[in-house]
Amino acid sequence: MLARVTTEAALQFRQITRSFGAVRALRGVTFSVAAGEAHALVGENGAGKSTLLKILAGIVQPDAGEILWHGRRLHLDSPREALERGIGMVYQEMLSFPNLSVTGNIFAGRELTRGGRLRNAEMRERTTALLAELHLAVSPDAPADSLSAAHRQLLQVARALAFECEILVLDEPTTSLTDAETDHLFAVLERLKARGVTLLYVSHRIPEVFRLCDRITVLRDGAYVDTFERRSVSPERIVRAMVGRELPPRAVLTKEQRHEDQPPLLSIDGLGRRPWFNNVSLQVHAGEIVGLFGLVGSGRSELLETIFGLYRAEAGRVRVAGEPVNASSPREAARAGIALVPEERQRQGLLFNLTIRHNLVLPDRTIRGDLVVHTARERREAQDLVETWRIKTAGVEVPPDALSGGNQQKIVVAKWLATSPRVLLLDEPTKGVDVGAKFEIHEIIRQEASRGAACLVASSDLPEVLAIADRIVVMREGRIQGQLAGADATEEAVMQLATHEIAS
């Protein structure tokens, strides 16, 4: 049942402009969201979507322009105000309080009180009702850190819904969700649509956008491009509007280019570390890109971290170019030519108290064991990297906090590539990254492979794995379930391996 889509605009952005130092994040963006519709906002990283959402949430103030809410000017000074106006935000980054219960999380900062005392019973009741409505099978008293990442994401949605909201704004909500969980979420969103709730949906995943939304607005480089009716536009058209250019077809490497005639560059035999993974054996040849696919809990990240020396394996061996590598720290692994682009770029990949230059040259200088910092030389190298990888930044002498997610990710990748690793490990390299940057990063990986590196890409994004990998290794619950290559590597086959027990 389609919702009543009126032409009356519920939310209007008018000439919104915002700069951060020299970076112009938004340039006179104007568009409107109709009441009761599901409206998608898409764009590359650096297009300005996050900034626009921050302005809507009251976290950042626009330099110029205004937001109209039902025709009246909206002046938001804080997230609390946004909430009180009925704007519910569901964020990408996991903002839950691990030490609080589900109820506590939902009401954190907005607890129900009577004369200063908490109305625990009432909050619990409302939480239970909310969980039922969302079909979330968790207890309202469960501590948040006992929930899976996917459930924590749904918790964010619940948090936004706990209070009457007229418009629900979702920022990449399905990043950590499986297909099943995404379906669940979409079912909830459809129900909300039917109730008349307006949805503003920001995502890089074009299929999802087409599934849920009525209209699609595209931003590019901080400016408004166009708004399309979903029914009358194709996904390719959208991508073209986002990227501004045609994307090159994906190259397929020949066997020779994949160096399969030579011994493998990375060789893992019987590697195990309980309870994360057990008896893992795989090989990657020079020039090969192996995709490591598995759902949440399959042990992919732990495997990569162990190879990189963050943890000691309990059993098994790792060999690089035939030489055994027994790395007991990332430092040793890096010296042996292994590089890891970690999953959480903010927590594991970037130093926000140092400049972009420092971040970019750090692994290289640390491995080389230099004593002194040569500023001029480093600055040149950093600027080269920024140019080569098209990292959008005002300069290299600023900290990376003003950069968009995709550009931050590029820094994490670039800094390791500068060390010319023999083995490149990547954990969810395009998580939270837009389509354009995603393709760029995939190109980067292919270039490294063609230079002779062995690449192992762990990802729960099936389309990505299918697109980039020469061979797909599937993991489930800490074990290798199987390998697929060439024509055998279909979505169904991979998912089958990832979700079902293989009779051995």
Partner 1 sequence: MKKLWQFREFSTVVILLLEILFFTWWLWPEGNRTHPFLNTGNGLLILKYSSIYGIAAVGAAIVIISGGIDLAPGAVMALAGVVGAQLFVVRGWPLAPAMLTGVLVGLASGLFTAALIVLARLPPFIATLGVMGITRGIAFIITEGQYFDVSSHLLGGWRPFGLPADWMAPLILVVLALGFQVLMTTFQWGRAVFSVGGNETAALFSGIAVNRIKTSVYVLSGILAAISGVVLVLVQGQGKADLATGYELDIIASSVVGGASLAGGRGSVVGAVLGTLIFGVLRNALPQIPGATFYDRLIVGLVVIVIVVVDQLLLKRRA
Contact set with partner 1 (CB under 8 A): 310, 329-331, 333-335, 340, 342, 347-354, 358, 362-363, 365-367, 370-373, 375, 397, 401-402, 415
Closer residue to partner 1 (CB): 413 or 489: 413
Closer residue to partner 1 (CB): 151 or 357: 357
Cβ atoms of residues 135 and 190 within 8 Å = no
Neighbours of 197 (CB within 10 A): 21
For 209, the enclosing helix (H) or strand (E) is: helix 206-212
Q: For the CB of residue 39, give the shortest distance to partner 1 in the complex, in Å.
A: 30
Q: For the CB of residue 311, give the shortest distance to partner 1 in the complex, in Å.
A: 11
In angstroms, the CA 357 to CA 395 distance is 9
**Which residue, among 342, 240, 299, 318, has the nearest Cα to 498 in the 3D structure?**
299
Closer residue to partner 1 (CB): 176 or 359: 359
Q: For the CB of residue 371, give the shortest distance to partner 1 in the complex, in Å.
A: 6
In angstroms, the CA 398 to CA 409 distance is 16
Closer residue to partner 1 (CB): 207 or 352: 352
Closer residue to partner 1 (CB): 119 or 379: 379
Closer residue to partner 1 (CB): 118 or 373: 373
Q: For the CB of residue 412, give the shortest distance to partner 1 in the complex, in Å.
A: 9
- The 3-state secondary structure of 108-135 reads CCCCCEECCEECHHHHHHHHHHHHHHCC
Amino acid at 81: E
Closer residue to partner 1 (CB): 104 or 405: 405
**182-244-52 Cα angle (round to 5):** 55
**Which residue, among 472, 449, 450, 443, has the nearest Cα to 460 in the 3D structure?**
472
Q: For the CB of residue 332, give the shortest distance to partner 1 in the complex, in Å.
A: 9
For 239, the enclosing helix (H) or strand (E) is: helix 235-243
Cβ atoms of residues 244 and 237 within 8 Å = no
Cβ atoms of residues 464 and 282 within 8 Å = no
In angstroms, the CA 491 to CA 499 distance is 12
Q: For the CB of residue 374, give the shortest distance to partner 1 in the complex, in Å.
A: 9
Q: For the CB of residue 364, give the shortest distance to partner 1 in the complex, in Å.
A: 9
Closer residue to partner 1 (CB): 87 or 350: 350
In angstroms, the CA 411 to CA 400 distance is 9
Cβ atoms of residues 471 and 443 within 8 Å = no
DSSP designation for 348: I
Cβ atoms of residues 65 and 29 within 8 Å = yes
In angstroms, the CA 300 to CA 479 distance is 10
Closer residue to partner 1 (CB): 70 or 335: 335
Closer residue to partner 1 (CB): 21 or 275: 21
What DSSP string runs through 284-304?
Answer: E-TT-EEEEE--TTSSHHHHH
Q: For the CB of residue 359, give the shortest distance to partner 1 in the complex, in Å.
A: 8
Q: For the CB of residue 366, give the shortest distance to partner 1 in the complex, in Å.
A: 5
Q: For the CB of residue 386, give the shortest distance to partner 1 in the complex, in Å.
A: 17
| Matching residue, tokens 């670039």 | 414
